[in-house]
Amino acid sequence: MRILLTHTPSFRANYYGDEALARLRASGDVVLHDSETPLDPAALIAAAKGIDVIVSDRQTAAPGEVFAGLPDLAAYVRCAMDIRNIDVEAASKAGVLVTRATAGFIDSVAELGIGMMIDLARGVSAATTSYRAGKAPFVRMGRQLAGSTLGIVGLGAIGRRLAEAAVALRMNVIFCDPEAKTPPQGATQVPFDDVLARSDFVVCLAPAIEATRHLFDAAAFARMGKGAYFINLSRGELVDEAALEAALDRGHLGGAGVDVGMAPDQMPITRLAKRSDVVATPHIGGLTPQAIAHQAFDTVRQVEALAAGKMPDLAVNPARATRLARFGIRY
């Protein structure tokens, strides 16, 4: 089996790791992408000629022409949950299997959310920046998390873990999620407008779908209480960034924390990130050894299943993956 790992060298070090790579090599001949420039579709087609399985990082898009241009390709294995930049229908028409990884970053992202709340509430980054510049920082009154209200928008696995941690810190936790069934102990479900109006901290963890695009717009920020903090740990497209800047400019919001944004690879935009009232991180919510190993080894196990003539358990389109027949795999 010939396998292409699309990660750039730096992405490979941060988002795959030597241990996972060594085990991947046990399943076949692994070809590495050795440029720091991510593969565009044309470059991906050129790099994957004669390849049976592509193990793909989240930056590498796979539009329809990729599957049409690679007649030997049997499986496209994504080392992430997000497969929105993969044309699954085109893959299915070509008979190519698409798989995805599971969420190994639940604790990691939830912990970053707690860290951002503490930073915003106590001015940690602002004071540190002043001290490093050789200046005495402005001494301001902070906000205690215990007794404050956390509003979570989107109670998926990360939202649930964040709620549990916040309850342990004796925060009042409210949330909104149209699909939430059993609330975590100590958390209360309320309408979206109530989350905005009642929360000292609002954390966006909603899924990125068409219905949630710019969920946080000028009207949403206006409904938040004066001096409240907004944190986005989900996806950049959920936030109207101009509206967020305007709410910060007029002093309505006390500050914001962003790990994602509309810059390439979901990075925060520089204009927002450089503000003194914003705590920004470069899309590293899931960048911990435990979280990365989880998703990397998900892909290893899927390739191992293919090598053993079995359908991977994280297959997206198994019924239409007809090219797997050459490995003796039929759905």
Reply yes or no on whether the pLDDT at 180 is more than 80.
Answer: no
Interval 108-124: pLDDT, tens: 999 999 999 999 999 99
> What CATH number is given to the structural domain containing 175?
3.40.50.720
Least Cα distance to 113 among 58, 170, 152 occurs for: 152
pLDDT tens for each residue of 10-63: 999 999 999 999 999 999 999 999 999 999 999 999 999 999 999 999 999 999
Average pLDDT, the chain: 96
**H-assigned helices in the chain:** 9-15, 18-25, 41-47, 64-68, 88-94, 106-122, 124-132, 157-168, 192-198, 218-223, 241-249, 270-273, 289-307
Q: Give how many domains the chain has, as a whole number.
A: 2
pLDDT, tens digit, for every residue of 213-223? 999 999 999 99
Residue 330: which pLDDT band, with cuts at 50, 70 and 90? Answer: confident
**pLDDT tens digit sequence for 98-154:** 999 998 999 999 999 999 999 999 999 999 999 999 999 999 999 999 999 999 999
- pLDDT (0 to 100) of residue 182: 87
- Over range 264-277, report the average pLDDT: 93
Where b means 16+ CB within 10 Å and e means fewer, 104-122 reads bbbbbbbbbbbebbebbbb
Residues 240 and 252 in one domain: yes
In a shared domain, residues 6 and 140? no
Structure tokens at 220: 């949403």
Can you say whether residue 265 is alpha, beta or left, with left for phi > 0 and alpha for psi between -120 and 50 degrees? left
Q: Angle of helix 289-307 relative to helix 106-122, nearest 10 degrees?
A: 160
* pLDDT at residue 181 tops 90: no
Last residue of a domain, one of 263, 280, 297: 280
- What does the alpha-carbon distance between residue 28 and residue 15 come to, in Å, rounded to a whole number? 20
What is the amino acid identity at position 4?
A: L
Burial class of 299 by CB neighbour count within 10 A (0 to 12, 13 to 18, 19+): buried
Q: Is the pTM of this model over 0.85?
A: yes
Note whether 67 and 43 are same-domain residues: yes
* Proportion of the chain above pLDDT 70, given as a percent: 100
Range of the domain at 46: 2-104+288-327
